[in-house]
Amino acid sequence: MKRTFAYVLALCVLLAAGGTAMQRGASQDSTQFPGQPTRANVWIQNRGDMEAVPVSIENVSTQSALRVEVAGVPRVTIDPAGVAQVRASRQAWGYRSVSVPAGQDPVGALNAAGADGWETTGVAISSGGATVIVLKRPN
């Protein structure tokens, strides 16, 4: 009887210790209130030398610093004492219109403009038997 009691007691202690460890692990990812997003982690892994990943960080608050950790051996040396100064800016766009006569296929005109970096905005205006398509590209 004493042996069974000892086994049950040991099992209870192990279960309690495991539950406490699970609560500690859960508290690292917990939030202050329901619906609050957890910390965002992004893992980028290149599988070869020719596989570069462009990174664009947008909508960053100017009041808090953004922590970036580089793992592995980067090909570019990063000065740990240096701070990169950045500022948010808006993208400036240039606009152009292409007029396509009625009955004509717009693909040729759009392909020619696309080769120069123009893309459609989705705005098409009918004007005097022709369709005017508005294009944009970054300045």
Distances (CA, A) of 69 to 38, 60, 83, 90, 133: 18, 17, 14, 26, 45
Tell whether 29 is covered by a domain: no
How many structural domains comprise the chain?
Answer: 1
pLDDT classification of 139: cutoffs 50, 70, 90: confident
Residue 125 pLDDT > 80, yes or no?
Answer: yes
Residue 26 pLDDT > 60, yes or no?
Answer: no
Tell whether 63 is covered by a domain: no
Domain that holds residue 101: 93-138
Tell whether 54 is covered by a domain: no
pLDDT in tens, 100-110: 998 889 999 99
Tell whether 115 is covered by a domain: yes
pTM of the predicted model as reported, rounded to 2 decimal places: 0.39
pLDDT in tens, 3-19: 888 888 887 787 777 66
Q: What angle do CA 29, 34, 38 make, to 5 degrees?
A: 30
**Measured between alpha carbons, how far is 20 from 112 in angstroms, rounded to an integer?**
66
Q: What is the pLDDT of residue 76?
A: 63
Q: What is the pLDDT of residue 78?
A: 61
Tell whether 61 is covered by a domain: no
Rg (CA), the chain: 30
Tell whether 7 is covered by a domain: no
- Beta-carbon contacts of residue 125 (< 8 Å; ≥ 6 apart): 131, 132, 134
